[in-house]
Amino acid sequence: MPDKHLNIIAFDIPVPVNYGGAIDIFYKLKSLKNAGIKIHLYCFEYDRKPSELLDELCEDVHYFKRDISKTKLFNRKPYIVATRYSKELLNLLLKDNYPILFEGLHTTYFINDKRIRERRKIVRTHNIEHDYYNNLARVEKDLFKRYYFLNEAGKLARYEKVLDYAEGIAAISKNDTDYFSKKYKNAQTISAFHPNNTVTSKRGKGSFALYHGSLDVGENNEAALFLVNQVFNNLKIHLIIAGNKPSKELRNAISGKSNIELRTGITSDDIYELISDAHVNVLPTFQATGIKLKLLAALFQGRYCLVNSLMIENTGLENICICRDTAEEMKTELKSLFKKDFDFDETIKRDEILLHNGFSNEHNTKTLIDMLF
């Protein structure tokens, strides 16, 4: 059989592998390579450096400077799209006839260019972007940033119709697939790619609860503040909040609380160790977009996982999480969970759901290849 070649346009350099989008892209590259796909990778560069790790996974890797100048704010296209224009990228794409995987709406500047009109084009959606930006605006306190998020949300809602030029949409969650299926052709659920091949949850008990995430993201800051101010404010249970770039508001909220500890300036490996050692990974969210990779990490590697409805609704993960929506309900549940061990039966249940219901890299790689070729 002839080799299968694939062009992938990434919105960022996916190394270091330390946030959701980078994790999804990096482990997608690994899985596609393991399946025999020859990858030609195109990355937009703005705050990360070229990586030799990518050379090992791809036939070739090309980097393009992202133009993040403020003039792009006045472009009719969304800022996340307008800043990822590269004539050199288009010229490289025109040198072959391989399928193109666009990582995010961010990378679709050329999707409706007549010169690639006949190419097989699939868009990987990580969110319903205009919903995501509206939610960022909702929790943003800086007036300029809030205006930017609202303006970008409006542009994204209008721009989204370029998905008509794609032969398929690889949506990251069932909710997103339901949304895209009503508007565009061939939307399929391909869950997030991740570093886990099996469930490694430890039995027994841990001594603390954990919340983790990129703390400079508005929704994560909101969730952390909810836990600090309303859930662990009068509990005798130790909470570790782990993540980089915490807000001043979060630091101040934690200050003086003896049962809450902030861990920042830490690596992905540090996070995974904390996930594994915690007795409860507590992961509320107030923004039901995509699927949260931190939830998958907690289920593959951690013990008990306590969430709210917005985190798991229509994900297929409802039966392996404990769902409580109010602060008082979470407090009661935490007190109960810290009195019992995490046992082997829970691991068996997770194995069945995570590895056989669309959350394994192997399953998602096969589905993606079927869409692309």
Residues 144 and 225 in one domain: no
Give the strands of the sheet with 209-212, arranged side by side.
260-263, 239-242, 209-212, 280-283, 304-307, 322-323
CATH number at residue 92: 3.40.50.2000
Residues 44 and 140 in one domain: yes
**213 inside domain:** yes
**Residue 49 pLDDT:** 94
Dihedral pair phi/psi, residue 6, rounded to 5°:
-145, 130
Beta-strand runs (E) in 164-268: 168-171, 187-189, 209-212, 239-242, 260-263
**179 inside domain:** yes
Residues 68 and 141 in one domain: yes
**136 inside domain:** yes
**350 inside domain:** yes
Model pTM greater than 0.95?
no
Question: For residue 348, how many other CB atoms are within 10 A of its CB?
Answer: 10
Residues 320 and 362 in one domain: no
Residues 67 and 19 in one domain: yes
**50 inside domain:** yes
Number of domains in the chain: 2
Q: Which residues of the chain have pLDDT under 70?
A: none
How distant, in Å, are the alpha carbons of 17, 218, 266, 309 from that of 245? Answer: 17, 11, 10, 27
H helices within the chain, ranges in order?
A: 20-34, 52-57, 79-82, 87-93, 129-139, 143-159, 174-181, 218-226, 248-254, 268-277, 293-301, 309-312, 327-337, 344-356, 361-372
Residue-number span of the structural domain to which 170 is assigned = 4-191+358-372
How distant, in Å, are the alpha carbons of 157, 188, 208, 275, 324 from that of 179? Answer: 13, 11, 38, 32, 26
How many whole angstroms separate alpha carbon 5 and alpha carbon 263? 42
How distant, in Å, are the alpha carbons of 5, 270, 277, 304 from that of 307? Answer: 40, 22, 18, 10
